[in-house]
Structures are given as structure tokens and as C-alpha cells.
Structure 1
Amino acid sequence: MVRAGDVIILAVLALLCVGVIMVNSAEMTVDAQTGVTFKSILFSKASALALAAMVALLCARMLPVRCWASNPGLTRCIPLLLPIMLAALVLVYLPGVSGKAKGAARWLVLPGGITMQPSEVAKWGMPVVLAWYATMRGGALNRFWGGLVPALVVLGMVAAIVVLEDLGTGVVILSVGGLVLIAGGARIWHFVMIAPAPLALLGLAIIAEPYRVQRLITFANPYAEARGSGYQIIQSLAAIAGGGGTGRGLGFGLQKFGYLPEDRTDFLFAIICEELGVMGAALVLALYALLLFAGWSVVKNERRMLLKLSALGVIATVGIQAIMNLAVVTGLAPTKGIALPLLSAGGTGWILTAASLGVLASLDRSRPPISTDEARKPVEGQPTLFGSIEAKPIASAAAPATIAP
């Protein structure tokens, strides 16, 4: 029987390979004689980054994550991720250590010219911090002031800093964080009750930047600004439509010749549709569906609440980010710079995404066999989406709460 962890590994490797090929194709000027050669792909920057991501994936798969989660001393260190993430997010605004692209301060410049995107670290770190909080607080999350509000303050603080320069990633962090808290025992009606506040803040973040307002206007009718703000989405739709069933052929797309901005990053899926057609697009979507299905299988079968919620955060991050990117590229959402996981060109994004999914494979590899009845058996205590856990104050918790068999 094929294990879910093995499916995750294969799906990630397949997506990285497709990403390397398509990123190289998108950034190449080719003709009928040259095309996209194996040598040009093998020695490209994208290949080096993909190799680093593959190493991170396989190394993460071998980590003793389950043993670490059973060690109270190590789990008590999880909250330290929060000040580290906040410090990294603030550092991008300091001259000398930050790097800008198209006016946005999103990168830290490390020694050796290496760049890192702190928002990516926050995107993958926040679900773990919130999973720890939900586990330590147990059933207290169903109380508004004493359980949910402290978690929302932390989540809102991190997301607010990210939103200043990267609205898309901020929305992903908020969405995944809310999902983890609800799965950990928070009441949905509490979120409904406070929904106007974050929506109002999101509206302010949009209004504060004229280009964001223009994107909303353009979304309503991109053809009204066909040579201006609507140009990118029109060219994206032209690329998708131009591919037909089988595409123009790998390396022989037209939109990458200066017509479609961000063709190797946020709008790479449009290039995939143009060069590989509906068949290529269907392959990519099938790989994502396979990855999400296998990831959910790991979440469903995990019995330790800290690991279960963390795994949910990982798979939700991949799924929500992919849906947001595909919605933007196909004109179903306003234009927003957000990468397609494991496909769009990126260094920090590829490596951290692969490593996070490798952790899911590690959980599946080290999971002791349990029966179907045992996996579905609830335990006594406060209810969550995954069963029940007993309420424990953080100060008195000696070890992470687990779901009893």
C-alpha cells in the first residue's frame, strides 16, 4: 500500500520539476532551432534552487518530528518563533539589511548576497505557533476573552506587518491562522462576530495604497484600461486562450516575449496553459489535488493535537495560496502578487514549502499503525473539529496535549 507521505514526496518532486522547466521556458527567448534544451535547464538558477528545495524536502522527511513533539523542553521553545518572526519582519524596513523590488520592502539581504523573504518564514511559522497555543490551552479556545483573543492579537500583529508590503501573503496568514484556531476548538460564531474588524482593516490597507484601489476597479472591467492597469490580466487570459488543448509547444509561447509581466513568477500558470495547453494545466491541477489529498490523509490520521494542527496549517497554506494564485491568473480575483506554490520562480518560497511538506511526510513515516475505529474515536473534554482535548492552562502544561486513543 502506498503511504500518504510517499505520495507527498512524489507530488512535490513532480511540481518542482515542472516548475524548473516552465520557469526556464518563461525566461528564455527561443526560436525554432534552439528551443528549450536539457543543458540550458540543467545549469540554470532555477535548477539550483529546485535542487536546494529537494534536499530540504528529503532532509525534513528524515527529521524525528514526532520525538521532538514529545519532548516538553523542545515544545516550550515553539513560542520563541514569534519574536524571531517579528524581528525579521521589522528588519526589512531598515536600510542596509533590506532589499526592495518594485518599491516593496520584502527581502533581507544576508552576508554573501543571499536574500531571504521574512514573510515566507512567518507564513510557515505562524500555524505552528498557533497550533502550540491551541494545544496548550486545550478547550479554553472556545472562550472568547480568555482563549481566543490572545491568539487573535498575535495573529493580527504578524499579519498587519506583512500586509503593509505584501497583501496576498498577509491574507494567507490570516486565513490559515483562523482555520487552525477553529480546528483547535475556537467557536466559528466568535469569528463571525469579529469579522467586521479585520475586514475594515483590510479595506483601510487597500485604500491606503492607490494601486490597490486601482486593481479593484480594474477587476470589475479590465478592458476599460486595456493599455494600463488591465493590461496584465488581459495578456494572461490571452495566453490561456492561446494554448488550446495541447498548447503551442514547450518554449514556443508568445506572451513571454515582453507581453505578459511576471510571467515566470505570479503568472507562470498562464505560460503553462499557453505552451502545454489544457492537458498541461490539467496535469498541474491533478498534482495539486494529489498533494492536498495526501496531506489531508496525514492530518486525518495524526493523533497528537500539536502535530495534527501544524500539519493542517501546512496543507491549508499550500491549498489557499494555490487557489488565490489561480483565481488571479484566470481573472476571478483582483491582480495580486502571490506565487503558485512549488512552481513560480522563488528561492525562499520553494525551500520552505518543500521543507514543510517534508515534515508532513516525516509524520506519516513515523506514525504507528492504528485501526480505523481508533482513529475516529473521540476523547473526553472540550470538542474540536478533530475530536476533543482537555483544557490545560499554559503555565501548568508540562507536555503538549495529545488526543488519547
Structure 2
Amino acid sequence: MLTAAALLCFGLLMVQSAGMYVGATDIQTTADVTTSWTNYLSKFLTSSTALHAALAILAMLFASRINVRQFFTSRGLTNPLPYLILIAFALVILTQVPGIGREVNASKRWLAIGTFTFQPSEIVKWVMILAIAYWCARKRGIMHRFLPGLFPPIILIAIACGLIVIEDLGTAALIGLVSFCLLYAGGARIYQLILLAVPALAAVYYFITSSSYRMDRITAFLDPWADPQGTGFHPIQSMTAIAEGGLFGKGLGNGVRKLGYLPEDTTDFIYAIICEELGIFGAIAIIVLFTVLLFTGLGIIRETRDTFGRLVALGFILTITIQALINVAVVTVVIPTKGIALPLVSKGGTGWILTAFAIGLVASLDNAHHLEASPIDSPLESPQLSTA
């Protein structure tokens, strides 16, 4: 939780820095400088970004006191998971309804409620982990059998990814990858998942090749200098920002690429701004924080006694770390450009709050009171455990 809070503070600071703009000033004296910094600090503390960071911290603290195993012990109509799944899917469908869904950058991924906007795909991403963990824990003795064990969650994954993939291929691929990891950890055979991965990869290939802008990203990745002012502009500016940062960076707030050169500087490409302003040490600091988060989460997974809790924690930790890895790879042009945010760092109110909430749930698994109340896996569906 301290690591997540550190990432949030890092993100809050860098979003404000990346969001700075060039404007007319009347600074002429030391007093004017003091007044300018006072006004900036006031705007910083009262900004929507600061509010989102505060809500994320509160969400994480609240989630750390929730017994996530209640999702597993609930039965029938009292189980909230089916309702959460239906609501999440319905919200994704609403993004395509004219007048309800909001289009940003030629993509309909957002819903707007007054001035508040959010991406329903973010909700689906976390709900799917709970759903698959629940099924695998219930059927852990027969997950290797296709029809009674593996088939139902595969259908659910196909529906979730199918609803999202048209507008957000990156998030759909992330959900699919994490879901397959959970199925394997839950008892599915590796050969079964390899066979199922073939049509999944074929679908990804189809959605890439059938979209002109996705193909443009592939060609820009292969040779950004072929069209430096067009499709290659984004990766070139990202690499330039990283190169200009050097070892020590230009200093906080002194970056140049954010001043109209690098698109999405506060969101998907904020890591490039970090590299430019804070240099390689700032870049390494982000990697270290995510590494600490990963290994701390793995430690909690090892100490968690029940299958459902282990799978939930594994799904949450994998989602955060894989998403961070993809974002860094995109920014450093190791893979083609894709709209994947850096968790807890890239600007995004919904993303910050839900990610922090998920980390709080992982932390709750380490709570001694919850461990004492952990349920016993169903003996009818669980394999015999060694007395050793």
C-alpha cells in the first residue's frame, strides 16, 4: 500500500508537470515569482487530479478492510458477482449508444455522467478476475475437464473481450492474457490453453489487419522515419524525450516534449516525460516501485491459504505489472504504439481509483482476521490434499 501510494504521488506530480503549458506572464520581481508559485500550488492542490489521487488513497484504505472472500462464500441471489458482471457488460454496451457514449480520439470508450467520465472497460478488467477466480476455486478439481470445467469461463472471456476489442484492442488483449494465466493457475492444462490461444491470436491478427490505423502503428514501429511527420511522429517524439533526458534529466517541469510535441503526454506517454525531466534515475525509480509491488504481492499470494484468495491476488498483481510492462515497452518503442496507461501514474481518475481499490483488496488478504475466517475449499470439487 505504501508502494502504491508512492506511485500515486509520483503520478500526481508528473501529471501536473506534463500538463503545464506556455502562456503570458507578468513575472518581473521576486514577489511576482512567489505569487506565481503560490497560485500554482493552490491550483495543484485543488485540481481534479489531486482529488482523484485522494479518492484513490481512500479507496485503497477502504478496500484493505474488506473481506474479499465474501465473494466466494456467498451463494445464490446473495452473490454479487453475477450482478457485477452484468452491470459491467451493460456499461460497455452503453458506450456505443449515441448520446450516452462519449467519443475521444475517434474511439468510443467512455461514458459521461455530467462532468464525470469513465471507461467501463476498466471495470470489466477487474470484475473478470473475480469471476474467473470464483469459478476456478469452485471447480478446481475438474478444471482440466473441458466442458464442465474450462468451457464456461472461456465463453465469459470471449464475451468480455468481444465487447471491448472493437474500440480497445489493448485492454481486451490484457484481459485475455491475464484470464488465461488464471485458468492455468486454477488447474487448466497447458495444452488446452495453447489450443485455445490459436483462435484468440487469429482474432487479434484479424482486428489488427482490418484496421487502417492499427496497421499504421505497425508500419510506424518498423520504420518511424519513413513518415516522421505522420505515423512515425509519436514514436519519434517519445524516443527523443527519453534521449534528451540523459542521466539526470532536464529537471522537474523543464521538459520540452510536453509543449505540443508529444501527444498523450499526461496519459499513455507520461513515462517519456518522466525520462526527459528526471533522467534515467527517475525512470529506474518507477521500475523499482513496480518491482516492489510485484514481489510484495507474490509474497501475499504465497501466504494466502485458500484458492480463491490466491487467484484474486494473482490476477490483480498480474494485471498491474503486465500493464506497466506494456506501457514502458510502448514508450520505449520496443513494441508498436498502443493506448495502455501506466497504472497509478498516467492521468485517469477511474483507473487510479479502481487500481488502488484492487491493491487494497490484495492487502486485505494479508489481514490476520481475514486469514482466520478463510473458507475451506469444497471437498466435493477439490483434489485430495497430501497430509504432508
TM-score, with normalisation over the residues of structure 2?
Answer: 0.90
- Listed one character per residue, the Cα deviations across residues 98-122 of structure 1 (whole Å, up to 9, x for unaligned) are 1110111111122x33222110000
Pick aligned residue for 1:77 from 73, 76, 80: 80
Q: Matched residue pairs, number?
A: 373
SS of residue in 2 equivalent to 1:99 = strand
In the alignment, which residue of structure 2 is the partner of 1:191?
193
SS of residue in 2 equivalent to 1:364 = coil
Rounded to whole Å, the distance in 1 between the matches of 2:288 and 2:361 is: 22
Rounded to whole Å, the distance in 2 between the matches of 1:157 and 1:349 is: 22
In the alignment, which residue of structure 2 is the partner of 1:142?
144
In the alignment, which residue of structure 2 is the partner of 1:213?
215
Task: Please state how far the C-alpha of 1:225 moved relative to its aligned partner.
Answer: 1.4
- Quickly say closer, same or farther: Cα 1:403–1:336, change in 2 above 3 A: farther
Tell me which amino acid in the other structure corresponds to 1:86.
F
- For the 8 Å contact 2:22–2:259, the answer to whether it is kept is no
In the alignment, which residue of structure 1 is the partner of 2:269?
267
SS of residue in 1 equivalent to 2:110 = strand
- For the 8 Å contact 1:30–1:252, the answer to whether it is kept is no
In the alignment, which residue of structure 2 is the partner of 1:227?
229
Rounded to whole Å, the distance in 1 between the matches of 2:387 and 2:224 is: 54
Pick aligned residue for 1:392 from 374, 381, 385: 381
Task: Please state how far the C-alpha of 1:369 moved relative to its aligned partner.
Answer: 7.5
Rounded to whole Å, the distance in 2 between the matches of 1:404 and 1:331 is: 51
Tell me which amino acid in the other structure corresponds to 1:259.
Y
Report 1:4-403 matches (<5 A): 9-29=1-21, 37-66=40-69, 69-72=72-75, 76-110=79-113, 112-366=114-368, 392=381
Tell me which amino acid in the other structure corresponds to 1:23.
V
- Quickly say closer, same or farther: Cα 1:79–1:278, change in 2 above 3 A: same
Task: Please state how far the C-alpha of 1:66 moved relative to its aligned partner.
Answer: 4.1
- Quickly say closer, same or farther: Cα 1:369–1:152, change in 2 above 3 A: closer
Measured on the aligned residues, the alpha-carbon RMSD in Å equals: 2.6
- Quickly say closer, same or farther: Cα 1:344–1:74, change in 2 above 3 A: farther
- For the 8 Å contact 1:314–1:357, the answer to whether it is kept is yes
Task: Please state how far the C-alpha of 1:143 moved relative to its aligned partner.
Answer: 1.3
Tell me which amino acid in the other structure corresponds to 1:65.
V
- For the 8 Å contact 1:236–1:260, the answer to whether it is kept is yes
Task: Please state how far the C-alpha of 1:208 moved relative to its aligned partner.
Answer: 2.1
- For the 8 Å contact 2:228–2:236, the answer to whether it is kept is yes
- Quickly say closer, same or farther: Cα 1:191–1:369, change in 2 above 3 A: closer
Rounded to whole Å, the distance in 2 between the matches of 1:154 and 1:97 is: 25
Task: Please state how far the C-alpha of 1:38 moved relative to its aligned partner.
Answer: 3.5
Tell me which amino acid in the other structure corresponds to 2:120.
P
Tell me which amino acid in the other structure corresponds to 1:91.
L
Rounded to whole Å, the distance in 2 between the matches of 1:275 and 1:38 is: 19
- Quickly say closer, same or farther: Cα 1:87–1:369, change in 2 above 3 A: closer
Task: Please state how far the C-alpha of 1:75 moved relative to its aligned partner.
Answer: 7.3
TM-score, with normalisation over the residues of structure 1?
Answer: 0.86
Rounded to whole Å, the distance in 1 between the matches of 2:378 and 2:236 is: 50
In the alignment, which residue of structure 2 is the partner of 1:384?
none
Structure 2: tracts of 5 or more residues without a match: 28-32
SS of residue in 2 equivalent to 1:107 = strand
Task: Please state how far the C-alpha of 1:65 moved relative to its aligned partner.
Answer: 2.9
Task: Please state how far the C-alpha of 1:39 moved relative to its aligned partner.
Answer: 3.2
Tell me which amino acid in the other structure corresponds to 2:152.
P
Tell me which amino acid in the other structure corresponds to 1:41.
F
Rounded to whole Å, the distance in 2 between the matches of 1:351 and 1:402 is: 39
- Listed one character per residue, the Cα deviations across residues 277-314 of structure 1 (whole Å, up to 9, x for unaligned) are 01111111111111111111111111111111111110
SS of residue in 1 equivalent to 2:66 = coil
- Listed one character per residue, the Cα deviations across residues 25-73 of structure 1 (whole Å, up to 9, x for unaligned) are 0010269966795434222221111111111111111223345644446
Instruction: State percent identity of aligned pairs.
Output: 41
In the alignment, which residue of structure 1 is the partner of 2:30?
none
Rounded to whole Å, the distance in 1 between the matches of 2:77 and 2:181 is: 25
Task: Please state how far the C-alpha of 1:363 moved relative to its aligned partner.
Answer: 1.2
Tell me which amino acid in the other structure corresponds to 1:28.
M
- For the 8 Å contact 2:137–2:308, the answer to whether it is kept is yes
Rounded to whole Å, the distance in 2 between the matches of 1:259 and 1:307 is: 45
Task: Please state how far the C-alpha of 1:146 moved relative to its aligned partner.
Answer: 2.9
Rounded to whole Å, the distance in 2 between the matches of 1:55 and 1:69 is: 25
Rounded to whole Å, the distance in 2 between the matches of 1:64 and 1:191 is: 31
SS of residue in 2 equivalent to 1:350 = helix
Rounded to whole Å, the distance in 2 between the matches of 1:67 and 1:141 is: 22
Structure 1: tracts of 5 or more residues without a match: 1-8, 371-378, 380-387, 394-400
